[in-house]
Amino acid sequence: MEITSGQPNINLGGAGASGDWGIMFLAFLAMMGGGFGGWGGGRGPVPMTGDQAPASSAQLQNSMNFNDLQDQNRDINNNVNNVYHDLNSSFMDKYSELQRDIAANAVTLANMQAANQQCCCQIKQDIAGLNLENEKRFNHIESKMDQSEIQRLRDALAQQSQDIQDLKAEARLQNYFRPLPPPVAGF
């Protein structure tokens, strides 16, 4: 391309791949063995080992099996994680339920203790009332009886108590002097 604006003629080399540089590049490639073979693009007849060799079907299968094992391992880990979270959630639900039951039992126990306390107080009041009533009756009976009658009853009770003591003493003596059992034959 030429610029004609009064400037001197300058060749910018706009011929593309068919220009001087393109020809030199193609010649350089030809000297290298045609294409990119000299730089590792094409594989020649040299025996290939390690990473250079193409993968065999067994290697591909092993690679696929490894990927399957990784997927199964990931699934197992996810399932274990899900089971853990399910168990934890269930445990927390049961723990909360147990706490509610304990709180309900504590309220029931407190109500029973209050009712028992009230009943106990009522029974004590009733007993105190009966004792007072009995005391009044005894005093009334005692006031109607004359002192000689009271003394006669006391003496009769004392005599009965003495008779009981005598009977007990006699029973002890009879057990003490009890005859021996007959001897056993053959001894």
pLDDT tens for 70-105 read 889 999 999 999 999 999 999 899 999 999 999 999
- Percentage with pLDDT > 70 across the chain: 67
Query: Token pair for residue 182?
Result: 């007959």
Please provide the average confidence, as pLDDT, over all residues in the chain.
75
Q: Which residue has the higher pLDDT, 160 or 46?
A: 160
Q: ∠ CA 162-163-168 to the nearest 5 degrees?
A: 95
pLDDT band for position 1 (cuts 50, 70, 90): very low
What per-residue confidence (pLDDT) applies to 178? 61
The HSE-up count of residue 180 (CA atoms within 13 Å, CB side) is: 3
- Poorest-confidence range of 69-73, 131-135, 177-181? 177-181
Read off φ and ψ for residue 42, nearest 5 degrees. -105, 145
Query: Token pair for residue 10?
Result: 């300058």
Q: Is the pLDDT of residue 40 over 80?
A: no
d(CA 86, CA 66): 30
What is each CA distance from 29 to 32, 42, 44, 132, in whole angstroms? 5, 13, 17, 133
What per-residue confidence (pLDDT) applies to 84? 92
Residue carrying the six token digits 């193609």: 26
Residue 94: alpha-carbon gap to chain centroid: 9
